[in-house]
Structure 1
Amino acid sequence: MTLDSRGRIADGSVMKELQWTPGLRLNIRERRGLIVVSADIQGVFKVTKEGHVRLPAVVRQWCGLTAGDRVLIVAEPGSARLVVHPPAKLDEMITQTHDAVFGGGHE
């Protein structure tokens, strides 16, 4: 999905899968280059009235995200968690996987 200028994640299918509704409180944090969004009754953030998750600017900056960046989002319903994979982290994961499969030379 593409991140808009306000840092919104507006994927209705993900919100439905997580059973997240407008007003649900969220905890949003960076963890090893990923953005982790969790349902948390004491969370500072909320699902917007439109059903979107808005990533705070400071978290986007930590992960080097800007408007128009494409991210991979993964819903983990069992953990009531959404994980956002920024492009740099995806590149890193792909490189590590290719190194493991093909060795450092990428045959």
Structure 2
Amino acid sequence: MATLDSHGRIADRSAMKGLQWSPGLRLHIKERRGLIVVSADEQGVFKVTKEGHVRLPAVVRQWCGLTAGDRVFIVAEPAGRRLVVHPPGKLDEMITQAHDAVFGGEHE
């Protein structure tokens, strides 16, 4: 879990270390089925900041309804050279689906 700051930065050293991403690395950022997918891409228009953070542009944050202070679940996928950001609404949806599968739609 990471907190989004007022500039859209995600500061999580363990994820960046696992991905072996360093400042200046070019990134491609897209929304896919409610998730934000950040991929290392030599042709990408975004970059890892000089502090080593991923910064989600305003338009990307708007796609997923993210605001400063929101907590996001991040998953580093080193084999795919990508970071997947799960916004709170998507987490709620995934948890509801998992509980429905376990409890058959019955919520006590």
Instruction: Report the TM range for the smaller structure's normalisation.
Output: over 0.9
Q: Give matches, 1:28-67, under 5 Å.
A: 28-67=29-68
* CA distance, structure 2, for counterparts of residue 10 and residue 3 of structure 1: 8
- The Cα of 1:2 is off from its aligned counterpart by 0.8
- The Cα of 1:13 is off from its aligned counterpart by 1.2
Q: Give matches, 1:61-100, under 5 Å.
A: 61-100=62-101
TM-score (norm 2): 0.97
Query: Root-mean-square deviation (CA), in Å?
Result: 0.7
Deviation beyond 3 Å, 4+ runs, structure 1:
none
Cα deviation digits, residues 16-68 of structure 1 (max 9, x gap): 10000001000001000000000000000000111011001001001000001
TM-score (norm 1): 0.98
Identity among equivalent pairs (%): 85
Q: Which structure 2 residue ranges, 5 or more long, are not aligned?
A: none
Q: Give matches, 1:3-42, under 5 Å.
A: 3-42=4-43
- The Cα of 1:76 is off from its aligned counterpart by 0.2
* CA distance, structure 1, for counterparts of residue 13 and residue 29 of structure 2: 19
- The Cα of 1:12 is off from its aligned counterpart by 1.1
| Aligned pairs, number | 107
- The Cα of 1:106 is off from its aligned counterpart by 2.1
* CA distance, structure 2, for counterparts of residue 92 and residue 62 of structure 1: 16
* CA distance, structure 1, for counterparts of residue 47 and residue 70 of structure 2: 22
1:14 aligned partner, one-letter code:
A
Q: Which structure 1 residue ranges, 5 or more long, are not aligned?
A: none
* CA distance, structure 1, for counterparts of residue 69 and residue 94 of structure 2: 21
